[in-house]
Amino acid sequence: MSEPLARVRAWFQGGTLLWPLLGLAALLAFNLVWSPGFFSVELREGHLYGILVDILNQGSKVMLLSIGMTLVIASGGVDLSVGSIMAIAGALAAALVTRTGLPFVAVVPITLLAALLAGFGNGLLVAKAGIQPIIATLILMVAGRGVAMLITGGQILTFDLPAFVYLGNGHLFGLPFTVTIVAAVLAISVWLTRRTACGLFLEAVGDNGRAARFCGINTTAVKLLVYAVSGLCAGIAGLIATSNIKAADSSRVGEMMELDAIFAVVVGGTALTGGRFSLVGSVLGALLIQTLTTTMQNLGVPPAISPVPKSIVIVAVCLLQSAKFRGQIGGLWKGKARP
């Protein structure tokens, strides 16, 4: 094999950002040919409108979830409860807004604190009680929506508080406000993981938790922290989702979004087994999912059918990450399989 080709292959296998970028580019190229209006963006009243802007706006929730999920998965765990935490956060915020008349600036921190604590509870089960992450977070996934309905009394609570509505529907710098939120959360989390040693510790814990403890890393604290952050991200996403429809709908908010978030993380190049992670990759993965969904809507495919291509992408990504599958494919290229 020639030298440049080997280097490209190394990048394919090692570079985590390449796959989601490639997928995104392929989708955009497809749209360039098949749906002409896809790239048109217009400026109205100082705000940008267009399909691309919609993708950013609608994808914001999964992007936020995927940031927290990346950290949890990097630690060797998984968080199934984020959809339910979104419902709890939405229900709590709506209830506080409609029933207490607290100012929105007070409602936000209270809600986010509740979401953080919910995530922290998951962390306690995983890090202190030593329960498998899938199970530990399954508990809140099952019970969380019940708790949310308990808060709202089973009704769909509607509100029209301008500040709350702005959160998910307003514009800043010509772009939807949600874009700013995602950018800020992403920037802070990248800074915290890459400009401090937190990211390295997290990768160490996910790669080999026992060895991390022997190196003097407080593995319990690391795990508690990532689940708490995942809860926090879910809280923000829950506020946005609730603001989007100006109502807290506890049974539907964030439904199946935990799976989209996990999917985004895996597409973004972070392995489910933990260790190495890429926050930017996960956000790109989330964008890829949203673009896929929007593209199909654009083509007139009923949204209900959109899981089918999603499932194909998941399985394809799994296969590409499988050493055995790569061996087979590599074998095809070289004509002889390696042991």
User: Residues 95 to 154: which contact other proteins by CB under 8 A?
Assistant: 125, 129-132, 134-136, 138-150, 154
| Residue among 106 and 197 whose Cβ is closer to other proteins | 197
| Residue among 168 and 285 whose Cβ is closer to other proteins | 285
Which residue type does 50 have?
G
Does position 259 interact with other proteins (CB under 8 A)? The reply is: yes
User: What contacts 24+ positions apart, CB below 8 Å, involve 24-29?
Assistant: 24/284, 24/287, 24/288, 24/291, 27/288, 27/291, 27/292, 27/295, 28/291
Picking from 209, 208, 318, 266, the residue whose alpha carbon sits closest to that of residue 78 is 266
CA pair distance 297, 181, nearest whole angstrom: 25
Between 193 and 232, how does the x/- string for binding to other proteins read (CB under 8 A)? --xxxx-xx-xx--xx-xxxxxxxxx--------------
Q: Is 226 helix (H, G, I), strand (E, B) or coil?
A: helix
Write out the binding residues for other proteins, residues 265-324 only, by CB under 8 A: 266, 272-273, 275-276, 302, 304-312, 314-315, 318-319, 322-324
| Residue among 18 and 147 whose Cβ is closer to other proteins | 147
CB 277 within 8 A of CB 71: yes
Q: C-beta of 232: minimal distance to other proteins in Å? A: 18
Q: Of 11, 187, 325, 329, which lies in the binding site for other proteins, with binding defined by CB under 8 A? A: 325
Q: C-beta of 304: minimal distance to other proteins in Å? A: 4
Write out the binding residues for other proteins, residues 50-79 only, by CB under 8 A: 78
Q: C-beta of 189: minimal distance to other proteins in Å? A: 14
How many Cα neighbours within 13 Å face the side chain of 164? Answer: 32
Q: C-beta of 77: minimal distance to other proteins in Å? A: 12
Q: Give the binding-site size for other proteins (rule: CB under 8 A).
A: 72
| Residue among 161 and 249 whose Cβ is closer to other proteins | 249
Q: C-beta of 338: minimal distance to other proteins in Å? A: 8
CA pair distance 125, 242, nearest whole angstrom: 28
Phi, psi of 320 (to 5 degrees): -65, -30
CA pair distance 226, 215, nearest whole angstrom: 19
Phi, psi of 41 (to 5 degrees): -125, 130
Q: Of 256, 299, 329, 337, which lies in the binding site for other proteins, with binding defined by CB under 8 A? A: 256
Which element (helix H / strand E) includes 157?
A: strand 157-158
Phi, psi of 337 (to 5 degrees): -75, 145
Picking from 140, 162, 163, the residue whose alpha carbon sits closest to that of residue 86 is 140
CA pair distance 51, 336, nearest whole angstrom: 46
Write out the binding residues for other proteins, residues 22-51 only, by CB under 8 A: none
| Residue among 174 and 307 whose Cβ is closer to other proteins | 307
| Residue among 15 and 309 whose Cβ is closer to other proteins | 309
Does position 13 interact with other proteins (CB under 8 A)? The reply is: no
| Residue among 176 and 260 whose Cβ is closer to other proteins | 260
**Placement of tokens 């800043």 in the chain:** 172
| Residue among 173 and 191 whose Cβ is closer to other proteins | 191
Q: What is the DSSP letter of 45?
A: T
Does position 257 interact with other proteins (CB under 8 A)? The reply is: no
